[in-house]
Amino acid sequence: MTNHWVDIRNADLVLIMGGNAAEAHPCGFKWVTEAKAHNKARLIVVDPRFTRSAAIADYYAPIRTGTDIVFLGAVINYLLTNDKIQHEYVRNYTDLSFIVKEGFAFEQGLFSGYDAQARKYDKSSWDYELGDDGYVRTDPTFAHPRCVYNLLKQHYSRYTPEMVERICGTVQEKFLHIAEQIASTATTDRAMTIMYALGWTQHSVGSQMIRCAAMVQLLLGNIGIAGGGMNALRGHSNIQGFTDLGLLSNLLPGYLTLPGEKEQDYAKYIAARAPRPLRPNQLSYWQNYSKFHVSLMKAWWGDAATAQNDWGYEWLPKLDKAYDLLLAIELMNQGKMNGYICQGFNPLAAAPNKAKAIAGFSQLKYLIVMDPLATETSEFWRNHGEHNDVDPTKIQTEVFRLPTSLFAEEDGAFVNSGRWLQWHWKGAEPPGEARSDLEIMAGLFTRIRKLYQSEGGAYPDPIVKLAWPYANPDSPTADELAKEYSGRALKDLPDPKDPTRIIRKAGEQLAGFAELRDDGSTVSGCWIFCGAWGPTGNLMARRDNSDPTGIGNTLNWAWAWPANRRVLYNRASCDAGGKPFNPARKLVGWNGAAWGGADVPDYKADEDPANGMGPFIMLPEGVARLFARDAMNEGPFPEHYEPFETPLAANPLNPDQPLALNNPIARVFQGDREAFGKSDRFPHVATTYRLTEHFHYWTKHVELNAILQPEQFVEIGEALAKEIGVAAGERVRVTSNRGYITAVAMVTKRIKALRVDGKTVHTVGIPVHWGFTGTAKTGFLANTLTPVVGDGNSQTPEFKSFLVRVEKA
Amino acid sequence: MTDMTRRQFFKLTGATLVGSSLGLLGFAPGPALAEVRQFKLLRATEIRNTCPYCSVACGILMYSLGDRAKNAEANIIHIEGDPDHPVNRGTLRPKGAGLLDMVHSKSRLTHPEYRAPGSDKWQRISWDDALDRISRLLKADRDANFVAKNAEGQTVNRWITTGMLAASGATNEVGYLTHKVMRPMGLLVFDNQARV
């Protein structure tokens, strides 16, 4: 979230699209009802199903799953055509006036530089034009034909209300009503927030859907303001923290990135990540990259990381490509992997195409599962009848299952969707011999280190030299680790402005990332968390819920990254001179000498706004990008492509270009392409979803929730039920080209057939919560049905749009 | 006595009396019986925690029996929303309201187990046995398949025949330590729940 849960109450308009907060995040959704009750806010829901969020919305419109870019692109068209944009904001805080290089082009669904063979783009033409001074050329009058404003307008001119009706199945009248409501927030006194979740991420074009919505928010001036923002409602208690800590193939903590294999030179690695400003007097904060990086290397390798060995640069593995979950399972199927460790993760249920996951795990030599619960993954080899029909004698994988503690049995911090790090405390010991993940990871490390110390082996250096300063090496404490990722001084730190003054003594915790150095005198295992455990103690444990300004920021409750800031980009809530656009909802402001207010300013604290520094300080432009440059793989502007399993034969936006039917750069492995189904055999559009009574695949192990929703069902509309001759409560069989499930039919009025490109499209809703282990009635894992294709940038699988056939069981 | 209010009832009996004996004495006003929780929590320890499900991260209060004395084993008997928490203000949804059943789920694993190749059952093993054998497997695979240089002779120091999926409901401290342990081994097949 750019903003946070309580801030939703400041909104005048709430758009829930690509999510269902009333069902999936009800205690956060309370702030929507708060906004409705006390701020006269209106709620709009756009979703294939009439969800529980829709049930209390002021306005609801249905949409065919996977077509959100058409809808949002048409909103952009509406805003530009009707001149409903926040002019001062877009002129000063976005790249609308920037001029794009000659050579950039878009034709029939494809951008310049496409290589159909490699299924990727040469992105060199997707950039701004630079002047002789090295800065981007701009045209503040927006007259230049290649300025971003004109390219944007041209691109989305094809996204008309007629096209929305034809592709999304949303009738024009409903679309126009919603576009008008959204446009009403272009004024400085009205704010719209957008709330989304897996309904936007789990598509082959998910990242571009989200980007398209962010562009709408930028045009309206809704980013960086109270009650605004792009608010991803994340699905697990610490999925945000694990992302922040970089536990992904290509990341290091704090969104630092691992080097690619071509990056053999340390100085060049740093320089590539510390961009010079693209406009005069811009902060381009990543110029401090080396301070964050060196402080991390000191946290990991301590005294062994020195200036002479480039702070241990050689010890970091170098990437040839990013190895996401989908690729890992493909490599298992190719026999190229031997071992897999699953820590509190149930990939047999979470990965697409369960049959492929079973086949992959069956080719491993060893699988290690750490979990508080008996997951399906740990029992993938066991025959559970129709729900997991395998032959254990043919599966040669060794499996270790290690019992872990859970939240109630440990101290530590979770990061919520609003970036708050909140500390919690242990209430009891875990059952039986179960241990904390800290003890298990430490136990494995100390054993492996000992083996390398005594026997040697392949490249032992990064292992035997790892800093391990914990009082009990076999069981580091949460406090020790939190202090380490937050950071401390290794030497007395002199004030850069007055070297006679010491700002931190050696050993003292640091107050924030501004104190980090790249000379090896500081450690911080995750720079964006720096200050969470500061000189005054553990700020994550703070419990002062007072809200003196009344805007809901509670700055002394827990601690938010970065720098305890609650609303990102909050400098953009003020005009160019530093006065709040909306004085009634002031976040920060310039008082002539400094920035301050109800939040920690997202800006250089003493920067006179007259100098023109932009509010998007992490970008070298200093302003937000409506033209994404090379940051996205499909192109600088989001373009609609159909889901990989689509009921349509052609993409109505680009009917003559078959390469533009689906995402032209999505990675599809050969066998997976063959496993895609076509609409002649699989005529119904399926979308997975979640219920408020269950949490993913966990709560089927929980008695109360198993009682509330005991049995697997699928949801179909009345028209489809009639067509296939099924009554509510009867069983249906749902088949995709990859497998089938059977379940009880829930026949509802919540899903209506849509008229799309001249044909009737029925949608089937498939809740994901059942499986073959747990307390609830056993059932099929829903991913038995789903296709293996990921988003073109994140490789998040397309669980929200695929084809099935529903029939009476 | 049946029309006695809860307040009068407590005034009369004193809050330290034990509920079961009151029932025997015929002291059983309806509202008071509905308030068993009050009695239980009087002798419980309150601990502050965070709901482990979605990332609204509601504050919760956990109540455990046991006074933290050396031989008293704590047992969590009740969980409810934290009214001081600025986001949930005491509320919980059906999942959070059922958290006690998660802590005490019948599916909780209680000891390390091993499944041999081709076997159809688990066998119980000790922690030392489990960690020793896993360490051996990891080291053997790393030693056999570690890639120090790629085909162009560039130093790459990676290990891609073993992979890891990290948690989404574990603490920052677990995430940080897991990264610190696994990346230096050269691990690149590394992902977490954020992907899916």
In a mutagenesis test of the B interface, which of A4, A336, A345 is the best target, namely the one with the most B β-carbons within 10 Å? Answer: A345
In this predicted structure, the answer to whether residue B26 has a pLDDT above a threshold of 50 is no
Flag if A341 and B164 touch (Cβ within 8 Å).
yes
Closest CA to A414 of B101, B53, B188, B130: B53
The full DSSP string for B73-106 is PPEEEEEEE-TT-TTTTT---HHHHTHHHHHT-T
Q: What are phi and psi of A612, to 5 degrees?
A: 80, 15
DSSP tag of A14: E
In a mutagenesis test of the A interface, which of B75, B79, B105 is the best target, namely the one with the most A β-carbons within 10 Å? Answer: B105
In this predicted structure, the answer to whether residue B18 has a pLDDT above a threshold of 50 is no
B48 neighbourhood in chain A, CB within 8 Å: 424-425, 543
Q: How confident is the model at residue B35 (pLDDT cuts 50, 70, 90)?
A: low
Q: Is the dihedral of CA A105, A106, A108, A110 positive or negative?
A: positive
The shortest CB-CB distance from A318 to any of B113, B155, B175 is to B155
Q: What is the overall mean pLDDT for chain B?
A: 86
Q: How many CB contacts within 8 angstroms connect chain A with chain B? A: 478
Flag if A300 and B184 touch (Cβ within 8 Å).
yes
Architecture of domain B44-108: Single Sheet (2.20)
Tell me which chain B residue has its CA closest to the CA of residue A458: B143
In this predicted structure, the answer to whether residue B15 has a pLDDT above a threshold of 50 is no
**ipTM over 0.95 threshold:** yes
Q: How confident is the model at residue B14 (pLDDT cuts 50, 70, 90)?
A: very low
pLDDT at residue number A390: 98
A404 neighbourhood in chain B, CB within 8 Å: 109
Task: Pick from A354-363, B6-15, B34-43 the range whose average pLDDT is largest.
Answer: A354-363
Count of residues in chain A: 809
pLDDT at residue number B37: 54
Cis peptide before A562 (omega within 30 of 0): yes
| Residues lower than pLDDT 50 in chain A | none
In this predicted structure, the answer to whether residue B42 has a pLDDT above a threshold of 90 is no
In this predicted structure, the answer to whether residue B13 has a pLDDT above a threshold of 50 is no
Flag if B86 and A545 touch (Cβ within 8 Å).
yes
Tell me which chain A residue has its CA closest to the CA of residue B129: A400
Q: What are phi and psi of A798, to 5 degrees?
A: -80, 75
Flag if B180 and A252 touch (Cβ within 8 Å).
no
CA of A149 vs chain B CAs: smallest distance (Å): 33
The full DSSP string for B38-60 is HHHHHTSEEEEEE-SSSTT--EE
B135 neighbourhood in chain A, CB within 8 Å: 444, 447-448, 451
User: Which has more confidence, B40 or B128?
Assistant: B128
State the DSSP H helix or E strand holding residue A154, giving kind and residue range, or none if neither. helix A148-156
Flag if A433 and B112 touch (Cβ within 8 Å).
yes
Q: Which domains does chain A have, with CATH numbers?
A: 22-232 (3.40.228.10), 240-319+478-525 (no CATH), 658-808 (2.40.40.20)
A236 neighbourhood in chain B, CB within 8 Å: 53-55, 168-169, 193
B115 neighbourhood in chain A, CB within 8 Å: 381, 398-401
C-alpha B38/C-alpha A706 separation (Å) is 27
Contacts of A708 (CB under 8 A, 6+ apart): A693, A694, B94, B98
In this predicted structure, the answer to whether residue B5 has a pLDDT above a threshold of 60 is no
The shortest CB-CB distance from A399 to any of B66, B115, B131 is to B115
Report, in angstroms and rounded to the nearest whole number, the Rg of chain B calculated over CA atoms. 26
Closest CA to A16 of A80, A86, A78, A68: A68
pLDDT at residue number B71: 82
- In terms of DSSP bridges, do strands A759-761 and A754-756 run parallel, antiparallel, or are they unpaired? antiparallel
A775 neighbourhood in chain B, CB within 8 Å: 105-107
State the DSSP H helix or E strand holding residue A423, giving kind and residue range, or none if neither. strand A420-424
Q: Hey, which bits of A254-372 come out as E strands?
A: 256-257, 339-343, 366-371
pLDDT at residue number B33: 54
B156 neighbourhood in chain A, CB within 8 Å: 261, 317-318, 320
Flag if A403 and B190 touch (Cβ within 8 Å).
no
pLDDT at residue number B153: 98
Tell me which chain A residue has its CA closest to the CA of residue B52: A237
User: Tokens 């609308």 identify what position?
Assistant: A96
C-alpha A570/C-alpha A586 separation (Å) is 10
What SS3 class is residue A449? helix
Closest CA to A373 of A350, A408, A402, A414: A402
The shortest CB-CB distance from A427 to any of B49, B92, B195 is to B49
A691 neighbourhood in chain B, CB within 8 Å: none
pLDDT at residue number B69: 80
Given strand B59-65, what is the order of strands in its sheet?
A: B45-50, B59-65, B75-81
Q: How confident is the model at residue B68 (pLDDT cuts 50, 70, 90)?
A: confident
Domain residue ranges of chain B, discontinuous segments joined by +: 1-42, 44-108, 113-195
In angstroms, the Cα distances linking B11 to A508, B8, B26, B40 are 53, 5, 17, 18
B113 neighbourhood in chain A, CB within 8 Å: 400-401
pLDDT at residue number B9: 43
Tell me which chain B residue has its CA closest to the CA of residue A30: B88
CA of B43 vs chain A CAs: smallest distance (Å): 15
Q: Minimum mean pLDDT among A154-158, A479-483, B42-46, B167-171: which range?
A: B42-46
In a mutagenesis test of the A interface, which of B45, B79, B85, B95 is the best target, namely the one with the most A β-carbons within 10 Å? Answer: B95
B148 neighbourhood in chain A, CB within 8 Å: 458-459
pLDDT at residue number A437: 98
C-alpha A202/C-alpha A763 separation (Å) is 16
